[in-house]
Amino acid sequence: MTSKVNKKRCLTPLIPRKDARIGSKVVIPRKDARIGSKVVVFQSTASTNDIAWEYASNADNDGLCVLTESQTKGRGRRGRMWFSEPGQSILCSVLLTKTNIEAELLTLAAAVATAEAISAFCNLPCRIKWPNDILIRNQKAAGILVEKRNIKSKPCFVVGIGINCNQTRETFQEYNLNLPATSLAIEGSQGIDRTGLICELLAKLEEWLDKANRPSSINNRQSPVVDRWLELSGMLGRHITLECDGQRFSGFCRGVDPVEGLIVHLDNSLVRMFGAAQTSIAYD
């Protein structure tokens, strides 16, 4: 690759090889694909999102996938930490340097892709909680963080995805979590082939990014991504309570705008849109 990574920010050197491994399995770049056409793997690093950003100055790194066995400064939305120990999770960041999709729709597409990948590969029931949490039986199993920066006057994105795979119930008792957490192993999918799930995830992400990039999704706000997101979330028509900028709002979910966010008919009869960056579901 032509761009250089600042190795001082990593705990182990970069492994830009075709035989890089997650656990005992080889991770091979996806031939003739956009997402995952280039793959780099670390044994440990601070943040896969930070590593992905270091490749963003070269537009040819579009679709680059950064993986690690563990990270020390993983982050989620609103400054929250993402905890991970070696061998327990899928910790993945995908760089997008050539896309017209806005952050809101990109977040929805990544959530749909993650939920579908887990369901297809592990045969587990997934539900999406606004905007980026993947739940199994009302407990968080995965999360997504989409970051945007302008690089050389062009918008670029990093899609960070974390999936709890091999954690035990005791693992989560060590942390003060804002939402009850679970793992694929706890939910009954033993002996997770994380490499296989990564391949499924990257394929699903490419599928749903293609759908999000259709002109109807971008221009007319009629997106198959939104339809599938609503189906997987089960939020349409439900009464929910949200937290936005330190305030709570309650009302019925009437849909999702791929640019503006969640559409809610509030209890005071007003209709308001809530952007993903400022909003979390308190109760639903």
pLDDT of residue 80: 60
The CATH class given to the 7-229 domain equals: alpha beta
pTM assigned to the model = 0.85
Give the mean pLDDT per block of 10 residues along the chain (284 residues). Answer: 32 37 60 90 90 94 93 65 78 94 91 97 94 92 94 94 92 73 88 90 96 72 87 92 92 89 94 88 69
Q: What is the pLDDT of residue 176?
A: 65
Please give the CATH number for the structural domain made up of 235-283. Answer: 2.30.30.100
What pLDDT score does 81 carry? 63
Domain ranges in the chain are: 7-229, 235-283
Q: Cβ distance 284 to 264 under 8 Å?
A: no
